Amino acid sequence: MDFSLTEEQIELQKWAHEFAEKEIRPVAAEYDEAEEFPWPVLKKAADAGLYSLDIYMNAQQDPTGLTLPLIMEEIFWGCAGIGLAIFGTGLPLSALASVGTPEQLFEWAPRMFGTPEDPKVAAFGVTEPQAGSDVRSLRTKAKREGDEWVINGQKIFITNGQYANVYVIVATVDPELGHRGQASFIISKDDPGIRPGKKEKKLGIRASDTSEVILEDCRIPVDRVLGGIDRLEGKLDKARKGESSGRASAALRTFEVTRPSVAAQAVGVARAALEFSIDYAKDRQAFGVPIAQHQSIQNLIADMAVEIEAARLLVHRAAWMAASGQPFTKAEGSMSKLKASEVAVSVTEKAVQVLGGYGYIRDFPVEKWYRDSKIYTIFEGTSEIQRMVIARALTA
């Protein structure tokens, strides 16, 4: 077992870190305060090749699976909100890549990213007011009328919902069949009947857009169902006959694939908080010595560091398993997401404690990291859902 990174991976890590340090950290507080989407940073990321389809295509070729986790950790070390503005498109891309036909991928993936001169973003819409964790209960309906699908429904909490050029929307085709009656549809922002709704104001990751998406008689050609119409009909037929497809729903499969990358983001936030805490503790004096010499502060720092290392190992293992085609028989993807999320929350909370009052005020970035970290126990499957997935895998 070799834990060392290759020269190429070290270079990649350095490249992402430099971008985070120069282009993200200096403006993180400003975008957080303004709750604005960081278009200028996205443009710089696109110019640098960091925001591009190529990044994902290269990551797909990497047998170690570490390309994305390494980049994510560095970028989200810079700022989780800006990081998500840059990498939020990865989620709809992943849905497109895992379920779409090669033709759909070829046509729509470039439209998700636009060009460095005019970058675009994309969104993946599953969540509804009555259906978050419980994805079987989606009410958004897709009805076939001749050569078109007519889609009606309301999606909420959608990352990039306000600004997406392309949406991947999960809707029910046959409500009787639960998640097996659902399908994903690819919709352009210019298609009739789709529009962004309310933009949410949030606790953290404020630079990332989270918005409602409304579908009112949204009409799209019949071939926009991901995977193609024949595949959908075959799947519905099987479900009606009660035959097992042996596969989770498209939405759940998308989340399973993206979990290690999301977990790496949480590790990045936690590491930012640890590094800041160490520097602060070496500098801040209390009772005549730097607080780093007080044992209770040393305990906090040691626990933070150990938890981060443990989380990272789970993340890298899950990413490596996914890349080398090993099934997550113990829900190792969920394990990495669960651990990293909870580590991010506990480490950033400890960082606030290390800084004392200065941890609680906005002059220092620690309170922001604390707010930002909480999202990781909620989106892409809450911690409770990850525990359920892990326990089910172990007791199946």
Ligand X SMILES: Cc1cc2nc3c(=O)[nH]c(=O)nc-3n(C[C@H](O)[C@H](O)[C@H](O)COP(=O)(O)OP(=O)(O)OC[C@H]3O[C@@H](n4cnc5c(N)ncnc54)[C@H](O)[C@@H]3O)c2cc1C
Of the residues 52, 89, 127, 258, which one makes contact with ligand X according to CB under 6 A: 127
Q: Are 133 and 167 in contact (CB under 8 A)?
A: no
- Rounded CA gap, 342 and 120, in Å? 32
What Å distances lie between residue 274 and 53, 216, 239, 311, 343, CA to CA?
32, 47, 49, 14, 11
> With binding defined as CB under 6 A, does residue 158 bind ligand X?
yes
Nearer to ligand X (CB atom), residue 275 or residue 384: 384
Q: Which is nearer to ligand X, 70 or 390 (CB)?
A: 390
Among positions 55, 274, 331, 375, the unique one binding ligand X when judged by CB under 6 A: 375
For the residues of 84-110, what is the DSSP string, one character each?
Answer: HHHHTTHHHHHHHHHHS-HHHHHHHHH
Whole-number minimum distance, CB 391 to ligand X, in Å? 10
Across the strands, what pairs with 123? Answer: 167
Shortest distance in whole angstroms from residue 233 CB to ligand X:
25
The structure tokens listed for 199 are 């933009």
Our CB check for ligand X shows the closer of 153 and 359 to be 153
Nearer to ligand X, 276 or 379 (CB): 379
Here the tokens at position 297 are 């502060």
Dihedral sign (CA 169, 86, 322, 308): negative
Neighbours of 22 (CB within 10 A): 11
Binding-site member from 27, 236, 278, 378 for ligand X (CB under 6 A): 378
Binding mask 177-216 for ligand X (x = CB under 6 A): -------------------------x--x----x------
Applying CB under 6 A, does 382 fall inside the site for ligand X?
yes
Rounded Cα–Cα distance for residues 183 and 144 (Å): 12
Binding mask 128-147 for ligand X (x = CB under 6 A): ----xxx-------------
Amino acid at 184: S
Cα–Cα distance measured from residue 97 to residue 89, given in angstroms and rounded to the nearest whole number: 12
Q: By C-alpha distance, which of 262, 266, 292, 260 is closest to 346?
A: 266
Catalytic residues: 380
Instruction: Select from 125, 181, 260, 359 the one that contacts ligand X (CB under 6 A).
Output: 125
For ligand X, the closer of residues 104 and 127 by Cβ is 127
Which of 140, 159, 165, 184 is the binder for ligand X (CB under 6 A)?
159
Among residues 209, 212, 259, which one has the least CA distance to residue 385? 259
Q: Residues 157, 167, 328, 364: which binds ligand X (CB under 6 A)?
A: 157
**What is the number of H-type helices and E-type strands within the chain?**
15, 9
CB of 199 to ligand X, least distance (A): 11
Q: Rounded to whole angstroms, how far apart are CA atoms 131 and 147?
A: 29
| Segment contacting ligand X by CB under 6 A, of 44-52, 153-161, 233-241, 321-329 | 153-161
Identify which range of 103-111, 124-132, 320-328, 336-344 contacts ligand X by CB under 6 A.
124-132
In the complex, which residues of this chain contact ligand X (CB under 6 A)? 91, 124-127, 132-134, 157-159, 202, 205, 210, 375, 378-379, 382, 384-385, 388
